[in-house]
Structure 1
Amino acid sequence: MVNALGIIPARYASTRLPGKPLVDLGGKSMIQRVVEQARQARLSRVVVATDDERILRHVHGFGGEAVLTSPDHPSGTDRVFDAYCQLDTPADCIINIQGDEPFIQPGQINALIDLFEQDPSTQLATLVKPVETAEELFSPHMPKVVVGNRGQALYFSRHPLPYQRQHPPEQWLGQHRYLRHIGLYAYRADILAEITRLPPSPLELAESLEQLRWLESGYQILTAETTVATLGIDTPEDVERALAYLRT
C-alpha cells in the first residue's frame, strides 16, 4: 500500500481573482471544497500549502491542516516541496492538488496513486483526458500531451500535436485521438527534491509549461487517463460557472 500525501498549494495573490482560495462557492470557500474532495481519496494526509496568514487561519478554522510557505516560490511544485519539508513525514509519493479545482474527483487522485502502487520506480505522474471538441484542441490554455505506448508522456504543448500533414486542421479531431493535460501531479519524494533544483529549460520557456523542464532533464512522466473534465477557477466568470454547476 503506497503512502500518498496530498498537498494543495494555495496563493492569495491572483491577477484576475485576488484572494481566490477564499472565494465563496455555495456557502463554502473554494479551498475548503478542494480539501473535502481530496480527503475522500486514498491519502494519508491532506495539507494546504499557503503563502498567506488569512488562508492559513481559514483552513484551520474549518478543521483543515495548513502550513505557511515562502511567498517567493516561482511555482506550485516549489511550494509543495517547501510544505513537504516542513511536515517532516515520510511519503512514497506526494500529490500536488490544484487549489483552484473545487470539483476534483477522488478517483482522479487515486488514479495517480495507482501508478505508484503498480510500479514503485515511477518518478512522476499526471492526468490526461481525451479531447472532445475543437475548442479544446486549439485552445492554447488547454495544453495537449503526446503519450507513448506505455503511457509515458513524450511531449506537452499548447499547440495540437501531432500535426496532421495529410488533413486540414478542421478534420484533425476525427483523424487522431488527441489528449489534453489535466494539471494534477504526483511525485516520488526523492524526485520532487531533485526537480525543484532544476533551472528553467528552453522548452519550458518556449511553451510556458513547467513539466517540459522535467522531460528535458530526462525524467519520465507516466500518465493516467480520466474522462472527467475539471473546472478550474481563474476569473469571476469561472466563479459564476462554478455556482451554476452547484445549482444543477
Structure 2
Amino acid sequence: MKVVAVIPARHGSTRFPGKPMALISEKPMIQHVYQRVKASNNIDSVIVATDHDDIYQAVVDFGGEAIITRKDHESGSDRMAEVASKVDGDLFLNVQGDEPLIRTELIDQIVKLALDNEESVVTAKVKIKDIEDLNSPNVVKVVADNQANAMYFSRSPIPYNRSIEPIHYFKHLGIYCFPKKTLEQFVTLPKSILEKTEMLEQLRLLDNGINIKVLETNYDAVGVDTPEDILKVERILEAQHG
C-alpha cells in the first residue's frame, strides 16, 4: 500500500501569521516537520499542502514537495482531501505543520497500526500529567475501549471521576491516518451536532460509525502557537543535540 504524508501549512493565523515560515534554529518550521516525517521508514511520499506561494517556494527550496491548495478550506482534513484527489495513495497521514518536534517513531507506529487496520482511521493519545491541561478546553481529551477504539473526544475532562479510584486521563494528539476512501467520505459528510457543540471534527467520524483506533504514546506534542513558543522549541532542540 502507498502511504502519503500530508502536512497542511496555512499562511493565515490570527495569533501567528506566516507561522510555517518562522525560523527555528535557522530553518523554517515547516522544514523541521517535513524532515522528521520524511525520515519515517513507513512513508512513501511527503507533501506540504499550502495556500501560499511563499510557503510553497520555501519547501521547494529545501528539496521538498508541495502542492498549492484552495484558500477556503475549513480544516487540515479538507486540505488533505484535496491533495488526495490529485495524488495516488492508499493511506493519507495528516501531520500538523506546527509541531517541529514530531517524533519519527510515532509516525512509524501510527502507519503500522493503520496498515493492520485498513478500515479504521488511526490517531494517538498521551497521558495527561498536568492538571491545567486536564481542565483546559484547548486540550482535547479522548477515551477509548479495551480494543483501543475511540469512544469519545471532548474539551472537557472525560470520564467524570465520581469515585475515589485513580484514573488516567488522555490528551488527543492531532495526527491522523486515513484510508483514502474514508477521507473522501469524511469531507462530504455534514457536520454533526456533537462536532458543532465541541468544535471537534473527529466527532463527525464517530457520529457516522467510522472507527478510530487510538495508539498510546509517551510523546506529548509541543506545538507552536505563538512567536514565544519558538524559543521553547529551540531550547528543546539544543538539549536533544547536546
Q: With structure 2 as the length reference, what TM-score do the two structures score?
A: 0.95
* Letter paired with 1:51: D
Q: Per the alignment, in what secondary structure is the counterpart of residue 176 of structure 1?
A: coil
1:11-160 equivalences in 2 (<5 Å): 11-41=10-40, 42-87=42-87, 89=88, 91-121=89-119, 123-160=120-157
- The superposition leaves residues 84-110 of structure 1 with CA deviations (integer Å, 9 ceiling, x where unpaired) of 2122x1x22110010001110111111
**Whole-Å separation in 1 of the counterparts to 2:117 and 2:188:** 25
* Letter paired with 2:8: P
- The superposition leaves residues 152-198 of structure 1 with CA deviations (integer Å, 9 ceiling, x where unpaired) of 0000001111111235xxxxxx7111111010011000000000001
- The superposition leaves residues 30-63 of structure 1 with CA deviations (integer Å, 9 ceiling, x where unpaired) of 0000000000112000000000011111100110
- The superposition leaves residues 130-169 of structure 1 with CA deviations (integer Å, 9 ceiling, x where unpaired) of 11221221121111101011100000001111111235xx
Structure 1 unaligned spans of 5+: 168-173
**1:211 aligned to 2:209?**
no
Q: With structure 1 as the length reference, what TM-score do the two structures score?
A: 0.93
Structure 1 residue 10: Cα displacement? 0.3
Cα RMSD for the two superposed structures:
1.2
**Whole-Å separation in 2 of the counterparts to 1:35 and 1:140:** 29
**Whole-Å separation in 2 of the counterparts to 1:162 and 1:196:** 29
Could you say which residue in structure 2 is the equivalent of 1:190?
Answer: 181
**Whole-Å separation in 2 of the counterparts to 1:214 and 1:36:** 30
* Letter paired with 1:228: Y
Q: Per the alignment, in what secondary structure is the counterpart of residue 85 of structure 2?
A: helix
Q: Per the alignment, in what secondary structure is the counterpart of residue 214 of structure 1?
A: helix
**Whole-Å separation in 2 of the counterparts to 1:240 and 1:22:** 15
Q: Which range moves more in the overlay, 10-19 or 109-118?
A: 109-118
Structure 1 residue 120: Cα displacement? 2.5
Structure 1 residue 247: Cα displacement? 2.6
* Letter paired with 1:220: N
* Letter paired with 2:48: V
**Whole-Å separation in 2 of the counterparts to 1:4 and 1:179:** 27
Could you say which residue in structure 1 is the equivalent of 2:6?
Answer: 7
Structure 2 unaligned spans of 5+: none
**Whole-Å separation in 2 of the counterparts to 1:6 and 1:23:** 21
% identical aligned pairs: 38
